[in-house]
Chain A
Amino acid sequence: MELGTSTPGGYLLVLAILLPLAGIMLSFTLGGRNAERVALGSTPFGIVLACAIAFEVGQAGKPIVYTIGGLPPPLGIALRADGISAVMLVAAAVILAAAAFYARSKFATPDGVRESRSALTFWIMLQAIWAALIIIFVGGDLFNLYVALELLTFAAVPLVCIDGRPETLVAALRYLLFALFGSICYLLGVALFYGAHGTIDISLLAQRVQPTPVVWMAAALMTAGLLAKTALFPVHLWLPPAHANAPAAASAVLSGLVVKGSFFLTLRLWFFVLPALHTETAAVILGGLGSAAVIVGSVMALGQARLKLLVAYSTVAQIGYLFLVFPLASGGAQTWSAAGWSAGLMQVLAHAFAKAGMFLSAGVLAEALGHDRIGNLRGAARVLPLTFLTIALGGLSLMGLPPSGGFNAKWLMLQAAVASGQWFWTLPILVGGLLAAGYVYRILAPALSDGQVSLKVTPMRSQEVIALALTMAAIVLGFAPQAFLDFLEIGRPVTASSP
């Protein structure tokens, strides 16, 4: 029962969750400009807490645990941070802080008004997304994670339609319906797990699960629900309109982080709840859907006329890569499995930073030019050099060219695919890279060519720098040392099944 008692540093997990929750309530009560002040003021503390948790996990070399109220599972709820939780916590804190500071100009409460709808909504929902993600990354109880998933949905949907245009309302409604459907499937799976094994604590379940029909049904339902929320092909249709129509800061968070929340839980389910079972078939199905997503998303991106829609379809494709982790990291005892695992997490991180940076850049561009039609971008790089540098660097990572986190991810995936004899997974990786090169070229080629473009508004230098910093993080991931990959292995159960 070593995972059922608090460890040193475990209290940090509770503090990390309570910080944004308190922020939500303060922002809501004080209202007006204070909502923004609370949200911005808490970001540095959030980053510090995330780093402290990562430090503790690294020091301990094993997961840090906190049992809430001192009551261990199965009756109580435990929080656990392992290597991947710690890394995701830091990434989420950094990206959310960047989006918050980027959004200051758009979501400031106007002068002469005590409180504005869009400002109050934005600052509350941003903190709620943050709180929900932290719980998702450290939650150890499947029902507690359900509540967190709902929190994430209720925070993300209003951000999609925050400007109130009818098309954003349609996108938000569609998103809400998919998300609610996903939650209820997930919840049904939780009920079945409880019915079968009398606990929904992740590590207790991992010890108890048996390959019974009830367990397989529960796993299938939870996976289906999580896939609908992650927008994996073929349930991806809600994502492009929702992500493309939201304000840039919200798009960055939605595409970079929110879809990763439900993906993270899919990882938790298959690698942490069910490591004792033979999951090869399921892994192949997930990998197959992921491969299809890579191709379909990239081809759709190639055909888009608007930059933000192109970037959103690129998210559909990049999410596809994530699911290759299931076939490539199963069989935990094998050496190639570690490469597959690192590859999956590297892809999560690289895409989070690169995509957040690209969406913020697309926002700067749309603001500065008054449109984001790719056909009218001729010569735009001349007037927005910094923004196009950001798009180019982000594109580098999306294509998977060195040096970048995207390259590392795809290189490790290729290694794992070859080493495990599953060579067929190399096809979507290579084809997806070529297609990504195609859609990045579609943006950059006209922008770098001759043409007359006039600026409607001078871009804010601070916003351009924030976007550039995020994509630089994706590039820097390309230089991640082996120690970083080892850190990702902390707390990962060794799967019993080997092919």
Chain B
Amino acid sequence: MSVLPYLDVGLALLVVAVAAWTVAARALFASVVSYVAYGLLLAFVWIRLYAPDVALTEAAVGGGVTGVLLITAGKRLGALHDIGPDVRPGVGLKLLTGVLAALVAGALASVILLLPDPPPSLAPEASAAIDSAGAGLGNPITAVLMSYRSFDTMLEKIVLVLAVAGVWSMTADEAWGRAPSPFRRSRPYAPTIFLAQMLAPIGTLIGIHVFWTGANAPGGAFQGGALLAAIWIITMMARLAEPPRVDARWLRMALVAGPAVFLVNGLTGEFVAGSFFAYPPSVAKPIILFIEAFMVLSIAVALPMLVAGPSSEGSDQ
């Protein structure tokens, strides 16, 4: 036990140092790489906060998928000139911003130290509700996401659909309907292909497992979907698969499947359980797993499409 506090402080210092390098690095690409490392380190902080679900999400999305997104973008931009005015901020402005940032951070830190003791918590309520509204789900976070705050969760899935539509709206008009450009033009290296072939079946199984056990153990629809998404991204990077056309009907349906099933179920809740977004207590758990299965599908499709970007002119297949 006596080593742990030092580990915590060391981890915190490392996270802050990598974050500082992300801000301070001269080259764009160095900054991007540093950010990806930062995302992975952060997952460890979450584990120390007894938040394995968040750690899984942070590792899969904050580190993994965001990493691919930013590195792809950094590479594409690196091949171009820097956009925006290439003026280095003056010393005065740097100093002023530094003071402002320090003040904000300081105020925030002192406020965090002033949080009330004993701390308020909804854990007792959540614990009490775990068998009724919580639908007998052993993982309280899944219960919160799918029952008490199901409305947030459905909205968040619609935000994903909207983000896909927003990314696609950045297409050049001539290219509309085609597929996004492949993740890389050149032939991938043999190890990449091998890795993708190896990972695809195993990763798919793990993804489904994470979703399935998420009802009772850390994991859940989002983490499972994100793992499946990562597998698809790796497969596309190895060019074992190509991004689909954005006007493909199956793609659109897969993207809205999760929120649509959620919405329809929310509507029927009024008639079968007396309230919108309520579940009949006896079958709550199977219904929740049913909705989650479609959410896994939507997430597994939405994240890669967000990373792939808008359709490009040269990619008609």
Asked if the two chains touch in their complex, CB atoms less than 8 Å apart, one says yes
Q: Which residues does A use to contact B, with CB under 8 Å? A: 6, 11, 14, 18, 21-22, 24-25, 28-29, 31, 66-71, 74-77, 114-118, 120-121, 124-125, 128, 131, 135, 143-144, 147-148, 150-151, 154-155, 157-158, 161-162, 164, 188, 192, 194-199, 212-214, 217
Q: How far is the CA of A29 from the CA of B250 in the complex (A)?
A: 9
Is residue B97 contacting chain A, with contact meaning CB distance below 8 A? Answer: no
Structural contact, B278 and A69, CB atoms closer than 8 A: yes
Which residue from chain A places its CB closest to the CB of B107 in the assembled complex? A217
Indicate if the CB atoms of A147 and B263 lie closer than 8 Å. no
Nearest opposing residue in chain B for A196, CB measure: B116
Are the CB atoms of A147 and B162 closer together than 8 Å? no
Which of B110, B166, B176, B177 contacts A158 (CB under 8 A)? B166
Please report whether the interface of chain B is mostly helix, strand, loop or mixed according to DSSP.
helix
The CA of A11 and the CA of B107, in the complex, are separated in Å by: 42
Given known A114-B247, A117-B169, contact A68–B151 (CB-CB < 8 A): yes
Known: A76-B133, A121-B168, A195-B112. 12 other contacts (CB 8 A): A69-B269, A77-B151, A77-B152, A121-B169, A125-B169, A143-B149, A144-B155, A147-B155, A154-B162, A157-B166, A198-B121, A217-B107
Distance A156 CA – B215 CA, assembled complex (angstroms): 36
B120 contacts chain A at the CB level, 8 A cutoff: yes
Q: Is residue B122 contacting chain A, with contact meaning CB distance below 8 A? A: yes
CB distance from B234 to the nearest CB of A (A): 27
Chain A residues with Cβ below 8 Å from B275 are 6, 67-70
B252–A31 CB distance below 8 A: yes
In the bound complex, residues from chain B placing their C-beta under 8 Å from that of A144 are 149, 151-152, 155
* Chain A residues, Cβ within 8 Å of B147: 69, 71
* Range class of the B interface residue count: 35 or more
Contact B269 A116 (CB under 8 A): no
Q: Once the chains bind, are B169 and A29 in contact (CB under 8 Å)?
A: no
Chain A residues with CB below 8 A from B220, complex form: none
Chain A residues near B102 (CB-CB < 8 A): none
- Stretch of B3-11, B48-56, B71-79, B254-262 lying at the A interface: B254-262
Contacts A11-B270, A71-B147, A198-B120 known; A150 to B159 CB distance under 8 Å?
Answer: yes
Q: When the two chains form their complex, are residues B252 and A151 in contact, meaning their CB atoms are under 8 A apart? A: no
Query: Which of A70, A114, A143, A147 contacts B274, CB < 8 Å?
Result: A70
Cβ–Cβ contact B252 & A68, under 8 A: no
Q: Which residues from chain A contact B150 at a C-beta distance below 8 Å?
A: 68-69
B109 to chain A, nearest CB (A): 11
User: Taking the complex as formed, is B253 at the interface, i.e. its CB lies under 8 A from any CB of chain A?
Assistant: yes
B19 at the binding interface (Cβ < 8 Å): no
Contact of A25 among B107, B260, B277 (CB under 8 A): B260
Contact check, A28 vs B252: say whether CB atoms are below 8 A apart. Answer: yes
Q: Does B45 contact A (CB under 8 A)?
A: no
**CA–CA, A24 and B166, complex, Å:** 13
Closest partner residue, chain A, to B134 (CB atom): A75
Q: By CB atoms of chain A within 10 A, which of B126, B159, B168, B247 has the most?
A: B159
Give CA–CA (A67, B278) in the complex, Å. Answer: 10
CB distance from A49 to the nearest CB of B (A): 14
Q: Is the beta-carbon distance between A25 and B116 smaller than 8 angstroms?
A: no
- Inside 8 A of B110's CB, which chain A residues have their CB? 213
Contacts of A147 in B (CB 8 A): 152, 155-156, 159
Tell me if A68 and B115 are in contact (CB < 8 A). no
User: Does A75 contact B122, Cβ atoms closer than 8 Å?
Assistant: yes
Residue A214 contacts which of B115, B122, B252, B276 (CB distance < 8 angstroms)? B115
Q: Which 6 A-B pairs have the closest CB atoms?
A: A198-B120, A70-B275, A121-B169, A158-B169, A117-B176, A69-B277
Q: Report A-chain residues with C-beta under 8 Å of the C-beta of B120.
A: 194-199
Nearest-CB distance from B168 to chain A (Å)? 7
Is B256 touching A71 in the complex (CB atoms < 8 A)? Answer: no
A-B CB contact pairs (8 Å), 16 listed:
A18-B266, A29-B253, A31-B247, A66-B276, A71-B147, A76-B149, A115-B247, A116-B176, A118-B173, A121-B169, A124-B165, A158-B165, A161-B170, A188-B108, A195-B119, A214-B115
Min CB distance A460 to B, Å, is: 23
Q: Specify which chain B residues have a CB less than 8 angstroms from the CB of A69 in the assembled complex.
A: 133, 147-148, 150-151, 269, 275-279
A231 vs chain B, min Cβ distance (A): 20
Q: Which residue of A25, A118, A195 is within 8 Å of B263 (Cβ)?
A: A25
- Point out the residues of chain B lying under 8 angstroms from A198, CB to CB: 119-122
Q: How far is the CA of A18 from the CA of B112 in the complex (A)?
A: 37
Please measure, in the bound complex, the distance between the C-alpha atom of A150 and the C-alpha atom of B260, giving whole angstroms. 19
B278 with A25: CB separation less than 8 A: no
By a CB distance below 8 angstroms, the chain A residues around B249 are 29
Choose from B114, B155, B256, B266 the contact partner of A212 (Cβ within 8 Å).
Answer: B114
Q: Which residues of B contact A164 (CB under 8 A)?
A: 172-173
